[in-house]
Structure 1
Amino acid sequence: MNLLIELLAFAVAIGVLVVVHEYGHYSVARLCGVKVLRFSIGFGKPLFQWVSPKTGTEWTIAALPLGGYVKMLDERETGGAPIPVEALPHAFNRQSVWRRFAIVAAGPVANFLLAIVLFALVFATSVTEPAAVVAAPAPNTPAALAGFDGGETIVAVRAGNAGESERVRSWSDLRWKLLGAAFDHKRIVLSAKDAHGTSDFQLDLRGITEKDVDDDFMSHLGFEPGGGKLTVAGVQSDSAAQKAGLAVGDRLRAVDGIPTDNATAFIAYVKSHASKPVTLQVERGGPAAGKLEDVRIVPQSQRDDATGQQIGRIGAELATQVPSIDVRYGPVESLQLGARRTWDLAVYSVRMFGRMIVGEASLKNLSGPVTIADYAGKSARLGPSAFLSFLALVSISLGVLNLLPIPVLDGGHLLYYLVEAVTGKVVSDRWQLVFQRAGLACIVALSAIALFNDLARLIHF
């Protein structure tokens, strides 16, 4: 059943993205007076064809649904057959360089516009998200140096000591605001509430490098969701947790006197105390519910397969219940936030790709159709908002990919047109052929790496 959901979600996602991208090319070509011969969804053998009596365009759905194309009237692609004189003004190659540029750029632009609309729909719909409550930060992290103790609720952010404050509505909202500030290497001020009122915290992000901006970005800064309940969900037999008397339903309140309400921070602390005794403050569940006890436990030392180092484990499964909030924006604000989120993600994608080229980021970040199908299915099972957000993310990735200056992609053609606009000369067919072969080699290499990463994730090696 899960496989069927993944395949259906993947087909819907790819179908929507391809239609929007190609329709961008199609609509601008029509506005520029170019005759469109075929609009194809997919490649290979046609499964369905229909010719519009008004425009003469052949609409096709093909057997291989991993892409699509728009074929326009072009003197270079007639196979030597002449084009009637009256049709020449409607040929793509007869258009001005800026019209050709607009037609080609319209595909990626359509993907960005789709992402804005999808994000706006998500923002305009009430969504339950974790609240922006921080857990106790790890020592010497930017959050700890800023003065956070844990339990504060971040409500606003502003640049430096001046400027207008921006409201922080949820943990996701906080993450995006911090990500933007880190990219710009800013020093910001976070306003946060606790039991004593509202305080300002100076957070210096000027030392954050491109390497720090990854999936664990918030952890690097020392920010983890807090304010929740960290409970024992399972105890392994013959483990340190079982020997210490931990039971399912016990709530972990502190470790060695440090309040704990976040699984990530707790696990990191336990890992760093292999074979060293730690004291847990536990609020008992079950018949003794509400009773506080100190439990002494010695994490068992085990070898970490990823690092080869000895780490501590107690053999307990943990569950975190963090405070949540219902987030909803008005129509205008939703569009503004959608545009900002699309811009932030596009910039992040470009920077990440640049880091991979220069070797500052792993090529393992590349994903192929298998991973996309997996995430499509997972997001579809989570609900409409998650699937729309996933669709927007892939749409942005598709738009950025197509704008890369690689021949055979839209970006490669745009580069040709820029050269033509500057020099007044069309890039010769000979050089276009050379660049096309090089571009094709790049695409094949990237596809091979992405597919390898997919298979590696699938079989965990």
Structure 2
Amino acid sequence: MLTLLAFLAAIGLLVTFHELGHYLVAKLCGVKVLRFSLGFGAPLLRFRPRETEWVICPIPLGGYVQMLDEREGFVPLSERPRAFTSQNVFKRMAIVAAGPVANLLLAVLLYWVVVAQGVPQLRPLIGSVAPQTPAAAAGFLPGDRIVSVSGQAVANWQDVRMQLADAAMSSSSVSVAVATPDGKGASRVLEAQRFGEKMVEAMQQGEAGFMPARFLPKIGALEPQGAAAKAGMKTGDWLTAVNGRPLASWTEWVQIIRNSPGKDLKVTIRREGKSQEIALRPSSVTEGDEVVGRIGVAPSPDEAWNRSLSFTMHYDGALALLEAARKTANTSWMSLKFLGNMLIGHAALSNLSGPLTIATVAGQTASEGLVSYLEFLALISVSIGILNLLPIPVLDGGHLMYYVAELVRGKPVSERAQLLGRKIGFILLASLMAFAMLNDFSRLFGG
């Protein structure tokens, strides 16, 4: 129920702002608005306080503003000055662009509210490095502080993820400057390509195998039917050695288990202050083309380390607004760059998300609190704004493309050309939606 309500609230807010942008600028330009609709289908509710009919429809995946238009029916001579088609090209461009611009302004407003609360951040310190990842291969170590990614300075983990994703869109090799725990500078190069397409996609989403969290060599949870539970391990056991070799970290433990599918191990643990030895045989699991060991355990977090990473960034007044505008601009640029790379094949279509994924994330962020939900709304608002500005007929950007052509040619694009464009645009949009829905089902059902 929370997921459904969060999704409907998000769509309602974002669509309302988008259509209000069209509506308000149309009224400013003297255009008569016949209907303002939230949703599609037969109206559930309708009212007409003045000349505009306001309706709410049952299919909540969009909306529209219907203006007086000679292309859609007879317009009396007395009303023609108020028709959309009677306006000069600059007014028509302003009306069409107002919807996407309203979404971007909404994102600034939402980010402003978030930033004004104080933004929780994590220092760009590496707590753990996962084995068999680009980060491990590049030589990253726990305790390294990330200074820059591809020459761009970073101040927190959000910056790291953003810059890494941005750089990985252009190249599968990314240079990262770090400061080691002893204060020395070093440069490490992340190579995603050698680890397969999934790792390339992961890096394009800001993941490379390092993370800020640190874990203790202590069992935090077990799978009831896992190899560890069957061997007699318990939650709270400290892992001290394997085959007589002392363990230094949880990462080292993971590496040993992964490299030991089906092998007999002697694990020394400390339980309630006493040491004992346990015979353990990791199960064999296939990951891609590789067989790895698995025992079904999860670590205990290093709470002291994790607390030391956290800090809150505070912004006052105009600085909060500037930061909100910066976040909106950065997110917009990342969205554009992702779409561009997707067109040229540098980003996979599997990264597209549809309404099911959006609904799931809406519910998750709503359960985490208001700030997380507002950040989610801002991100989706930017995505809607950027998507609608794309030069695809049937979208706002497609209409803008026609009006730019009109300025260049000195006369409107022919109805025949516009009709053909709408058909092509519909096919493109339907194809994107189909891919997005397939990705949604794949994520939900593990296809």
What does residue range 165-314 of structure 1 map to in structure 2 within 5 Å?
Answer: 168-169=155-156, 171-180=157-166, 189-191=177-179, 194=181, 196=182, 198-203=183-188, 214-217=201-204, 221-229=208-216, 231-236=218-223, 239-242=226-229, 245-252=232-239, 259-261=248-250, 267=254, 270-276=257-263, 284=270, 287-288=272-273, 297-304=280-287, 307=288, 309-314=290-295
Equivalence for 2:62: 67
TM score, norm. by length of structure 2: 0.83
Equivalence for 2:297: 316
Equivalence for 1:434: 420
Note the residue ranges of structure 2 that are not aligned, 5 or more in a row.
none
Q: Which whole-Å deviations, capped at 9, do the CAs of 1:424-451 have from their partners, x for residues lacking one?
A: 2211001111111121122222222322
**Cα distance 1:266–1:431, how it changes in 2: closer, same or farther (>3 A)?**
farther
Q: Does structure 1 retain, via aligned residues, the 8 Å contact 2:391–2:401? A: yes
Q: Which whole-Å deviations, capped at 9, do the CAs of 1:107-130 have from their partners, x for residues lacking one?
A: 111112212222232233245455
Residue 454 of structure 1, CA deviation: 2.5
TM score, norm. by length of structure 1: 0.81
**Cα distance 1:430–1:317, how it changes in 2: closer, same or farther (>3 A)?**
same
1:28 and 2:28 are equivalent in the alignment = no
Q: Which whole-Å deviations, capped at 9, do the CAs of 1:36-94 have from their partners, x for residues lacking one?
A: 222111122222223344xx2222222222211111222212x2x23233x33322112
Q: Which whole-Å deviations, capped at 9, do the CAs of 1:140-175 have from their partners, x for residues lacking one?
A: 977568764312445x54875xxxx95624x22332
Q: Does structure 1 retain, via aligned residues, the 8 Å contact 2:262–2:283? A: yes
**Cα distance 1:232–1:33, how it changes in 2: closer, same or farther (>3 A)?**
same
**Cα distance 1:459–1:326, how it changes in 2: closer, same or farther (>3 A)?**
same
Q: Does structure 1 retain, via aligned residues, the 8 Å contact 2:19–2:99? A: yes
2:294 is matched by which residue type in structure 1?
A: R
1:109 is matched by which residue type in structure 2?
A: V
Equivalence for 1:49: 46
1:106 and 2:98 are equivalent in the alignment = yes
Counterpart-to-counterpart distance in 2, 1:406 and 1:454 = 23
Q: Which whole-Å deviations, capped at 9, do the CAs of 1:410-436 have from their partners, x for residues lacking one?
A: 111111111111222211001111111
Residue 405 of structure 1, CA deviation: 1.7
Counterpart-to-counterpart distance in 1, 2:161 and 2:59 = 38
**Cα distance 1:277–1:424, how it changes in 2: closer, same or farther (>3 A)?**
farther
Q: Does structure 2 retain, via aligned residues, the 8 Å contact 1:119–1:392? A: yes
Residue 267 of structure 1, CA deviation: 4.5
1:84 and 2:77 are equivalent in the alignment = yes
Residue 223 of structure 1, CA deviation: 2.2
Q: Does structure 2 retain, via aligned residues, the 8 Å contact 1:274–1:310? A: yes
Aligned residues: CA RMSD: 3.6
Q: Which whole-Å deviations, capped at 9, do the CAs of 1:254-290 have from their partners, x for residues lacking one?
A: 886674356xx864663344245678785x45x22xx
Note the residue ranges of structure 1 that are not aligned, 5 or more in a row.
none
**Cα distance 1:124–1:278, how it changes in 2: closer, same or farther (>3 A)?**
farther
1:30 is matched by which residue type in structure 2?
A: K
Q: Does structure 2 retain, via aligned residues, the 8 Å contact 1:73–1:91? A: yes
Indicate the larger mover: 129-138 or 441-450. Answer: 129-138
Q: Does structure 1 retain, via aligned residues, the 8 Å contact 2:170–2:346? A: no
**Cα distance 1:184–1:453, how it changes in 2: closer, same or farther (>3 A)?**
closer
Q: Does structure 2 retain, via aligned residues, the 8 Å contact 1:132–1:153? A: yes
**Cα distance 1:437–1:268, how it changes in 2: closer, same or farther (>3 A)?**
farther
